[in-house]
Amino acid sequence: MVGLFKELFGRGPTRARAEWAGRDALVILLEDTLTPAERNLAGMGEHERLRESRMFFQYASVREFCEPVERLTGRKVRGFISGLDSAADGLAVEMFVLHPEGYEGPSRADQ
């Protein structure tokens, strides 16, 4: 995820950690994710605009977010949920809900 953020936004988070939340959900916590331009928006109080633009780019890149999770877990992504708290130094969460092992249908990345 750090590398993907760097590729998509020009800068990666300073800290990242992934944790399982049950059998079928993977939560990735990313800290200090804001680019210099996003920090400027936050400083102007434009948090809604910042979150909206970030979410637009992230959901436009669903395939890129899902691919490494599917490759590393061997399971297909059922759902992708992305969140950002721009007022908390760019704290972000990427959550992936996975299909059960052996699932052969489409992935969220294919939609």
Backbone angles phi, psi at 52, to 5 degrees: -60, -45
Straight-line distance from the first to the last Cα atom of the chain, in angstroms, rounded to the nearest whole number: 21
Please tell me what DSSP assigns to residue 86.
Answer: T
pLDDT digits (tens), the chain, 111 positions: 999 989 888 888 999 999 999 999 999 999 999 999 999 999 999 999 999 998 898 889 999 999 999 999 999 999 999 999 999 989 999 999 999 999 999 999 998
- For the beta carbon of residue 108, count every other beta carbon within 10 angstroms: 20
